[in-house]
Amino acid sequence: MCYDVIVVGGGCAALCAALSASEQGARVIVLERAPQERRGGNSMFATGGFRIVHHGVEDIRKIVPDLSEEDIARTDFGEYSVEQYFEDLGRVTQYLSDPDLADTLIKNSTATVCWLRDHGIRFLPNYGRQAYKVDGRFKFFGGAVIFANGGGTGLMEAQYRNLEKAGVAIRYNARATSLIREDGRIAGVRFDVAGREDAVAAPAVVLASGGFEANREWRTRYLGPGWEMAKVRGTRYNTGDGIRMALDVGAQPFGQWSGCHSVAWGRNAGEFGDVEAPHVGFRHSYPFGIVVNQDGKRFLDEGADFRGYTYAKYGRIILQQPGSFAWQVFDSQVKHLLRDEYGMRGTAKVQADTLEQLVTRMQDVDANGFLATMREYNAAVRRDVAFDPNVKDSRRTIGLDVDKTNWANPIEVPPFEAYAVSCGVTFTFGGVKIDTAAQVLDIDDAALPGLFAAGELVGGLFYFNYPGATGLTSSAVFGRIAGREAAGYALTNKAH
């Protein structure tokens, strides 16, 4: 069969591109490297959050039409303006995020989520992760209010159903190996299936096959020494194939190739994510406790900002500690605030009624250093400031080498708990350069005819850090654009 658009990849960006191209009347095929039971890319491992512009409850009702009056009465959804989104993205990326890509992402965020809603994706308020109940009322914080029902798994299952309804062809176990060019234009893709080379022709290709985080050699080459030791939060299939293919035909490398999204991850988690339990390694409640290294010392400000603005950079700092691990420590005052993953089976957790007992159970931690840290930390907490998990409450320590600037509760009420963490890499920040029409650009900033890209292999959006719940939004926004533009290009250039 002849196709108009080939989409390489099987996650959110790829499927949005395929659906969008199909809507324009293009005949589309998706090449997914994974087998069918492991399809979905990194998106399968996401919590499903989408960071979008909104102006309060009426905008949220458009996306969550079955929002009840009871939910509305008990919730402060706040608002998240274009200006706030720009400021958050700029602030956490040290204002290096490409302004044109950022503008496209932010100003298309809400419309793209509504497009997904119109295609049957159900969204819910993200109560469990982005709001805490204080005095009987929920207040959302940090800008990310909604998530896809069923998380990343539910999102991807629904998107694959959409492709089936649209008649989009899917080849599984198809590892794309190179782009085919004729007369300076993209003409198709070569791919490998079970050791046999095959090819499919089309005038337009969308690359949406993720970054290189599952490639140990590339991680060490570009992120630096020690990164071969990091665990991969998501799929094992994101090894940089799409990036390499684009570079081979002259695409411009772009973005922070030495940067990545990396988080505190369960120390005893597997080398790659588990589709059956995609969130089991999450350890994101650190703002309500402290984090210590092998020497028993704190080394970062756990309360520097809301979790969504710090979690994606703290994995790197953990990797840089002696032994590349750390322990998160909590007491019973905040136990009710810990996310569900802390209670999952297989969690590396220790518990005790005294700090002296606790540290004897914290593998590989210097006891004297830890107990000294605890005494200094507890003595430095400002107890005259009220604790409030929904705002940056300025309840801090004073006088420590590394102060905690918000949510600094003394750790003194037993039982005490500690959780062992390592570094989990989610996706890499370096990739290829695109314009706002998702066209891949060459070294002269000229579009490579027929080549488009979206998702995590696009460079230039994120540097050093990442605002939580922006990844799926970016994938959907640029995936939709890439599919639409690829279809328009293909249908116009069929004769070539």
3-state secondary structure (DSSP) of residue 99 = helix
Distance from the Cα of residue 42 to its chain's centroid: 8
Give the ranges where 195-274 is alpha helix by DSSP (H): 216-218, 241-248
Q: Which amino acid is at 228?
A: E
Confidence class of residue 138 from pLDDT cuts 50, 70 and 90? confident
Q: What are the tokens at 18?
A: 């395929």
Rounded Cα–Cα distance for residues 441 and 438 (Å): 9
Could you state, in order of their start, the residue ranges of all structural domains in the chain? 5-211+429-492, 262-424
Which residue is listed with tokens 């994995």? 315
3-state secondary structure (DSSP) of residue 85 = helix
Looking at domain 5-211+429-492, does it have CATH number 3.50.50.60? yes
Q: Which pLDDT tens digit goes with each residue over 165-202? A: 999 999 999 999 999 999 989 999 999 998 899 999 99
Rounded Cα–Cα distance for residues 393 and 386 (Å): 7
Cβ atoms within 10 Å, residue 211:
31
Confidence class of residue 495 from pLDDT cuts 50, 70 and 90? low
Confidence class of residue 276 from pLDDT cuts 50, 70 and 90? confident
Stretch 87-101: mean pLDDT, rounded?
A: 97
Q: What are the tokens at 84?
A: 């706030």
**CATH of the domain spanning 262-424:** 3.90.700.10
Q: For residue 238, give the nearest of 29, 82, 486, 42 by alpha carbon.
A: 42
382: exposed, middle or buried (Cβ count in 10 Å: 0-12, 13-18, 19+) = exposed
Stretch 247-271: mean pLDDT, rounded?
A: 96
Of 15-19, 69-73, 301-305, 324-328, minimum mean pLDDT range: 69-73
Residue 490 has pLDDT above 90, yes or no: yes
Q: Is the Cβ–Cβ distance between 208 and 12 less than 8 Å?
A: no
Percent pLDDT > 70 in the chain is 100
- The whole-model pTM stands at 0.94
3-state secondary structure (DSSP) of residue 198 = strand
Residue 254 has pLDDT above 60, yes or no: yes
Q: Which residues pair with 427 in a beta bridge?
A: 261
Stretch 413-433: mean pLDDT, rounded?
A: 97
Question: In sequence order, what are the residues at sequence separation of 6 or more whose Cβ sits closer than 8 angstroms to the Cβ of residue 221?
Answer: none
Residue 147: predicted pLDDT: 94
Residue 128 has pLDDT above 80, yes or no: no
Average pLDDT in the chain:
95
Q: For residue 248, give the nearest of 6, 475, 448 by alpha carbon.
A: 448
Residue 408: predicted pLDDT: 97
Stretch 333-354: mean pLDDT, rounded?
A: 90
Confidence class of residue 54 from pLDDT cuts 50, 70 and 90? very high
Residue 496 has pLDDT above 70, yes or no: no
